[in-house]
Amino acid sequence: MAFGGENAESYYDEGLTAFIKGDVDAALGFLKRALELDPDLLAARHQLGRCYLRLGQPGLAVDYLQQVLTRRPDLVPARLDLGTALLQQGRADESRRQFSQVLTLQAQNARAQLGLAQAAFQEGNWPSAVALAQTARGQGAASFAVLLLLGRAAKLAGNEPV
């Protein structure tokens, strides 16, 4: 039983805590129990998608994340996670649509820009990957992932280091 009692919210809280601590298997159990108790708890469904992403099971992640977005198409974090899951499946074109939709809601979303850059990279469009990664970096996403992608794409495009 979850710490807060036998209800969906308590199991969700336990699942989220386990996920943050890195115990993805425990998180799965708690989140699944939360959905048994309340099938409409979209936050639990979203976190299950994130768990499957972390476990390298993008197909299951896509299933859960699409269920969330069917009910809440404006939910940016779920759309970003869906784009990432689609990239992991090698579905760059579909992932691009997800990231582009985020940018229509939040034009300065650096994570969506990075997703577009990753999709371009996956398709072998090195110049576009460079430009999109530079945009993501300019929007404040100077993370290792952005810089690594930028460097790799620039090298493949035949550009000098950026």
d(CA 91, CA 35): 28
pLDDT one-digit tens code per residue, 41-55: 999 999 999 999 999
Please give the pLDDT value at position 161.
54
State yes or no: pLDDT of 3 exceeds 70: no
Contacts of 140 (CB under 8 A, 6+ apart): 110
Q: What percent of the chain has pLDDT over 70?
A: 95
- Rounded average pLDDT over 95-109: 96
Q: How many CB atoms lie within 10 A of CB 90?
A: 11
Query: What pTM was estimated for this model as a whole?
Result: 0.91
In this structure, what token pair is assigned to residue 139? 């929007």
pLDDT one-digit tens code per residue, 11-26: 999 999 999 999 999 9
Q: Where are the beta strands (DSSP E) in the chain?
A: none
SS3 at position 122:
helix
- Rounded average pLDDT over 112-138: 95
Q: Which of 27, 112, 52, 45 is nearest to 76 (CA)?
A: 112
State yes or no: pLDDT of 2 exceeds 60: no
- Identity at 135, one-letter amino acid code: T
Buried (b) or exposed (e) across 100-131, using 16+ Cβ within 10 A? Answer: ebbeeeeeebbbbbbbbbbbbbbeebbebbbb
Q: Which of 111, 60, 109 is nearest to 86 (CA)?
A: 60
